[in-house]
Amino acid sequence: MIKVKSPQDFWAGLLFLVIGCLALWLGRSYAFGTATKMGPGYLPTVLSWALVLVGAFLALRALALEGPPIEASLIRPQIFILLAIVVFGLLIERVGLAPAIIVVTLIAASASREMRWTETLVVAVGLAALCVGLFIYLLGQPLAIWAWNF
């Protein structure tokens, strides 16, 4: 009987294998081309094979080397992080970049039970200023800083 010595690596390897094989199957109709004249399927195929190889390596390594067990999943962080992503998508056009970043930072910080409001507010305002400077002024993205379009 084969014994899995590292469940984390084993299941991660299987996940990589499945995703890699699925991507290979979905991209099978794209022309591959050559290394000098790449077709639309060249990069997806190469990356899919890389995923398959990494997955196989992890899964086989999990059979030989001891590793940590799979830990119980915490639902609170998952919910708050997913909520932050959805809220950002809903707010970015309605309130602008700066308020959306502040609200999303507050929601994402709520995923941790050790969150402190004052530190989180400072980080939120700093992130908003950094994102405005980077995306709007430096990269010239056509985003509104403040917009109240409800």
Check whether residue 82 and residue 132 sit in a common domain: yes
Band the pLDDT of 71: cuts 50, 70, 90.
confident
**Can you give the residue range of the structural domain that contains 133?**
75-138
Whose tokens are 């469940």? That residue is 7
Write down the pTM of the prediction.
Answer: 0.64
| pLDDT (0 to 100) of residue 150 | 64
Integer Cα distance of 47 and 26 in angstroms: 13
Q: Measured over all CA atoms, what is the biggest interatomic distance in the chain, rounded to whole angstroms? A: 63
Check whether residue 79 and residue 116 sit in a common domain: yes
Query: Across all residues in the chain, what is the average pLDDT?
Result: 93
Number of separate domains in the chain: 2
DSSP 28: T
Check whether residue 60 and residue 79 sit in a common domain: no
Check whether residue 106 and residue 127 sit in a common domain: yes
Whose tokens are 């002024």? That residue is 137
Band the pLDDT of 26: cuts 50, 70, 90.
very high
Give the end of a domain, one of 64, 86, 106: 64
The helix/strand/coil state of 15 is helix
| pLDDT (0 to 100) of residue 55 | 97
CA angle, 144 as apex, 86 and 124 as ends, to 5°?
55
Q: Does 2 reside within a domain?
A: no
Over the stretch 96-128, which tens digit does the pLDDT of each residue have?
999 999 999 999 999 998 989 999 999 999 999
Check whether residue 29 and residue 83 sit in a common domain: no
Check whether residue 53 and residue 103 sit in a common domain: no
Check whether residue 13 and residue 53 sit in a common domain: yes
Check whether residue 54 and residue 94 sit in a common domain: no
Whether the CB-CB separation of 120 and 107 falls below 8 Å is answered with no
Over the stretch 51-65, which tens digit does the pLDDT of each residue have?
999 999 999 999 998
Helices (H), 27-138: 42-64, 75-95, 97-109, 117-131
